[in-house]
Structure 1
Amino acid sequence: MKYPSFNLNEQNQKIESRIVVALERISEAFRVLLWNESKENSLSPIQIQILIFISFHSLEKCKVGYLADEFNMTKATISDSVRVLLSKELVTKETDPTDTRSYSLSLTDEGKNIAKKASFFASSIEQPIEKLTQEQKTTMLNGLLKLIYDLNKSGVITIQRMCFTCSFYNGENGNHYCNLLKTKLTESEIRLDCPEHERIT
């Protein structure tokens, strides 16, 4: 009989279960930090996430449909959040000249100010990571990247702009190579969110 990872006996017997519970604890920390940031700005957590995303990504990715896929939400839910951000004058619409029904979102000056500050919401999680050795950091990153990749393949996580899902990536014989940059990559250089990412078709 299979038991859930949150079963204490299961945790004591399986390292996989302890890792799952540890990840859940960390995800709770992210939720708390994001919620605190959103309350400070009288916005919802997803509205803060949208502002942060827009501040670091190209216009072509800052569309309602893409944002819905990025955050694994419906277009209607994202549209509601965008409507609030527009009413608060934190974002503006950039209409596509070739298709007036399509538009991208860009930040206003006030939106940029909030996004800049809010983008540091997880800094208290980064601080203890900085104390790890380089080997520990690389091992942790490698394990998380493989976990994310498998969850993406199984459909649990949606859009990924990581090396493993990129047409420029070559991982033969355990080596990592980027055909766009024409260079070998160490395990610590594998990207999770690459601006030049082209998904394998």
Structure 2
Amino acid sequence: MKKITSPFNINLQHESVDSQIMAALERLGESLRILLSTEAREHGLSPIQAQVIIFLHTHSPEKNTLSYLAKEFSLTKATLSDVIKVLVEKDLVQRKESPSDARSQTLALTPAGKKIAVKCGQFATPLLAPVGQLSQQQKLTVKHSLFTLIHSLYQQGVITIQRMCYTCVHFSPATPSPFCNLLKIDLTAEKLRLDCPEHEEKKEQKV
């Protein structure tokens, strides 16, 4: 059996490119967590509260339900319900009856919630400058690698919801370029999407 060592073991990390990549991804993830936490605190919010209002501001109403958000953030409905309760008390989120199902509710931002969502949504701005300094080819290489990793994690069930082209029923893996059968466009490296509003999940064989 192959021995598995931690990618964070600094005595072994420099001997493995795989471990170095994992450590680099962890550093980037930690940077994003710090930036999000800092921005959230400025508005009296926890990181998950900030993430929720950002999601509500940037996604369509049919996704703005307790059930969908619980899956999106890999939380139990009870935990997510507590998050929403606080946001309602802060007058940032309001509950609305679903027009299609009287038994369920959708969530919407209040005017105050929208203002804070816009500000919180800029938490990752400091990373845009170094990304912008990469050449176009470097950007596309990084994008392809990240999309491949995310798709693999989705197939393993680590990521429960993914709205990327690879997981959509409209995606056709044609050559030389994949194709979107809904938008009728070639999905060149530049046009592949990570979070598509027209996404319809296809049933995949999970690992």
What's the TM-score, normalizing by structure 1?
Answer: 0.97
- Identical positions, percent: 47
1:200: which partner in 2?
Answer: 202
Give the alignment of 1:160-171 within 5 angstroms.
160-171=162-173
Write out per-residue CA displacement over residues 171-192 of structure 1, whole angstroms, 9 at most, x where no aligned residue: 1335211111111121121100
Write out per-residue CA displacement over residues 85-139 of structure 1, whole angstroms, 9 at most, x where no aligned residue: 1111111112013432201111111000000111000000111000000000000
Task: Provide the aligned length of Structure 1 versus Structure 2.
Answer: 201
1:150: which partner in 2?
Answer: 152
CA distance in 2, matches of 1:30, 1:67: 20
82, 88, 91: which one aligns with 1:89: 91
SS at 2:162 equivalent: coil
2:179: which partner in 1?
Answer: 177
Q: Which amino acid aligns with 2:48?
A: I
TM superposition shift of 1:59:
0.8
1:102: which partner in 2?
Answer: 104
SS at 1:89 equivalent: coil
Deviation beyond 3 Å, 4+ runs, structure 1: none
129, 132, 157: which one aligns with 1:130: 132
SS at 2:134 equivalent: coil
2:26: which partner in 1?
Answer: 24
Which stretches in structure 1 are left out of the alignment for 5+ residues? Answer: none
SS at 2:198 equivalent: coil
1:34: which partner in 2?
Answer: 36
SS at 2:190 equivalent: helix
Which stretches in structure 2 are left out of the alignment for 5+ residues? Answer: none
What's the TM-score, normalizing by structure 2?
Answer: 0.94
